[in-house]
Structure 1
């Protein structure tokens, strides 16, 4: 699962606005927003003095693990080779593994990014879920996420793939951004006969 701001979500949001739906506004007062913002700030660090050899960094979630992984691009191969020597260094509670990458970091297409505050806010409450067993209905997916994460505004199907798994993908928009964050931890849970991602 990945949160997001892609073209499909932006198109859907535009459709919602045209249809005069009122879904999507966070149901919190200003005091709650301020307290949550302060909590996020206490859990955030600012890293400075990063050598200009580091060009880009992308952190991703691993659907089969509670840990995350990242791709880091350097300006030259020497920087990448030096980074390989950091394998085994403790970062938090775990030693990091550093391996050569088999792929490059894909640039973000700016046309897929949210442009307005309401789009950004909607994206913060939306997740993308894949590998859903085709025997599981959208209503079942909605019920699953509402049981564990919180109220869902809207589920909408993105794609139905016919493969050996017969699975499909769905986007789930929650009332609260915190519910979307909780939903990311459901990756790997069995829904039907397949672990969702």
Structure 2
């Protein structure tokens, strides 16, 4: 009986000691700071800012390579307090695989979702250039509910191809039976799709009947040579298709080609422009497809007073 009492008291004493020890720990001490939160010096004052998990390793590598705060490309690396060398705990956290495991789960989830979308999508080829996305979607309305329909220009053919996504796999299976159906002047071919339709940012989609009408007059042009100017694009389409009302040429340093949204005065001009897929502009063959988004006029800049 006494031994049980002593054992119980000893256990309680150990628990009290453990609680007291834990209560004295500083949760913001270096060993408790997640790798994504790294203290940096800004204007001579240490601050805690969110930094990429690899920032500490990058800083250490740069210092070892003698770049003194710059990486090999000449970009400034934020210097971490206490030399920025990863602590033993940061390595331990990486070894336990928690973050990597979470990333793997997210990756598997997104992959499964993508595969589900692909199973609900069909690939349609040999589409007459006069056929609109609305007409194509109407063809498949008897198969199931259509979620999205994307017609694309084929640079190697006067005919076009499309992707049609349904709400379920049954709709996609039913759609396969429509292969060989005449649409316009040509029989379309319908096959299971190997890819999903890339989603459009909903903020760019038409918000009114006027903007939907603008979309009918607008084409999306890709694979534009970077040497080609906005004036060149306008002249190209006006000389072949008709008067251009508004044009937006876009590009950046990360891509070797540019894209353009071209809004015509007449919807017939936009339909004619779809035949320009494969035409060489500059030194590259362009790809033309109907635009899902209108070319909104830029907001006027406010003058500085």
Q: Same fold (TM over 0.5)?
A: yes
Unaligned regions of 5+ residues in structure 2, if any? 1-134, 288-305
Unaligned regions of 5+ residues in structure 1, if any? 1-43
Following TM superposition, by how much is the alpha carbon of 1:116 offset from its aligned partner in structure 2, in angstroms?
2.6
- State the Cα RMSD in Å: 3.3
**Alpha-carbon deviations, 1:148-184, whole Å to 9, x = none?**
1111223222224555xx3211222222222222112
The aligned residue for residue 152 of structure 1 is 244
The aligned residue for residue 185 of structure 1 is 275
Greater relative contact order (Cα < 8 A, sep 6+): 1
CA distance in structure 2 between the aligned counterparts of 1:55 and 1:116, rounded to whole angstroms: 21
Following TM superposition, by how much is the alpha carbon of 1:114 offset from its aligned partner in structure 2, in angstroms?
1.6
CA 1:49–1:147: 2 relative to 1, 3 Å: closer
Following TM superposition, by how much is the alpha carbon of 1:48 offset from its aligned partner in structure 2, in angstroms?
9.3
CA distance in structure 1 between the aligned counterparts of 2:191 and 2:262, rounded to whole angstroms: 34
Select which of 130, 137, 147 maps to 2:229: 137
The aligned residue for residue 153 of structure 2 is 62
CA 1:81–1:120: 2 relative to 1, 3 Å: closer
Number of aligned residue pairs: give it. 151
**Alpha-carbon deviations, 1:99-131, whole Å to 9, x = none?**
221233456554322223332333332222111
TM-score normalized by the length of structure 1:
0.59
TM-score normalized by the length of structure 2:
0.41
CA distance in structure 2 between the aligned counterparts of 1:160 and 1:84, rounded to whole angstroms: 40
1:91 aligns with 2:182: yes
Structure showing the higher helix proportion among its residues:
2
Is the Cα–Cα contact under 8 Å of residues 57 and 70 in structure 1 kept in the other structure?
Answer: no
**Alpha-carbon deviations, 1:48-98, whole Å to 9, x = none?**
98254x4445141232322233334456545544544554x3424544433
Following TM superposition, by how much is the alpha carbon of 1:195 offset from its aligned partner in structure 2, in angstroms?
0.5
CA distance in structure 2 between the aligned counterparts of 1:73 and 1:121, rounded to whole angstroms: 23
Q: Name which one, 1 or 2, has greater alpha-carbon Rg.
A: 2
